[in-house]
Amino acid sequence: MSEAQLYEELANAVYAGDDAKAVELSRKSLDAGIDPLKAINEGLMKGMSRVGDDFSQLKIYLPEVMLAAEAMKAALAVLEPEALKRGRASVKSKVVIATITGDIHDIGKNIVAMLMRANGFEVYDLGRDVPIDELIKKAEEVKADFICASTLLSTSMPYMEDLIALLKERGIREKYIVMVGGGPVTREWAASIGADGYGDDADEAVKVAKDLLLRRGAQ
């Protein structure tokens, strides 16, 4: 199997949610002397990217995404330690994410967290109905790059405004990229409260996060 074929097979295994195959191919790539970081980026990430695109167009549904994420996780457990040994592992951007105060609907947040994790972010998922100061506390503790808040309820949206206000009040607004999303949240509203990013769906949220990170790096 050529290197290109191996990457393609890795991507396919992730897409199919076949964790056994993804692990087997990961080991095979190490045995073949392939750079683990390259196997992650050219194989696993490409498979996950296809998953995100297809989920966004509803060609596949959440169970397929969850299984793909599991396969990705299993393969990373093989490749990442080796990449680390070779000093090839890149520093992951850190995301603190939660469904905000007052809301216990978490499926949207869970999907975003899953896709972010699968796209190489280090995700701290605080769960649901999380007070804004808890989000900030965790972000400070882990030196996060992102604070992401989600809600399905219009009555929890004001807490997103409060989050940004509290960051400003504490003089740490500029330390974080703040993203908001969820059922009633619109792009316009997100901009109006001073959030840095918003995604129509989980796939876009990941793309926006990557884009914001690049722009921050360029500054």
**Which residues bind to other proteins, rule: CB under 8 A?**
56, 58, 61-64, 66, 101-105, 107, 153-156, 158-159, 183-184, 186, 200-201
Shortest distance, CB of residue 36 to other proteins, whole angstroms? 28
Dihedral Cα 43, 106, 94, 76, nearest 10 deg: -30
Helices 107-118 and 202-218: crossing angle in degrees, nearest 10, is 50
- Residue number, 84 or 104, with CB nearest to other proteins: 104
Q: Can you say how many angstroms the Cα of residue 20 is from the centroid of all Cα atoms in its chain?
A: 23
CB 130 within 8 A of CB 77: no
Distances (CA, A) of 50 to 119, 168, 195, 203: 11, 38, 28, 10
64 vs 80, beta carbon nearer other proteins? 64
Cβ 87 to other proteins, closest distance in Å?
33
Q: How far apart are CA 125 and CA 28, in angstroms?
A: 32
Nearest approach in angstroms of CB 78 to other proteins is: 22
Cβ nearer to other proteins, comparing 35 with 70: 70
| Cα angle 169-122-3, degrees, rounded to a multiple of 5 | 150
Nearer to other proteins, 33 or 63 (CB): 63
Sheet with 94-99, strands from edge to edge, namely 122-125, 94-99, 146-150, 177-181, 197-198
CB nearer to other proteins: pick between 10 and 135? 135
The nearest distance, CB 30 to other proteins, in angstroms, is 28
Q: How far is the CB of 97 from other proteins (least distance, A)?
A: 15
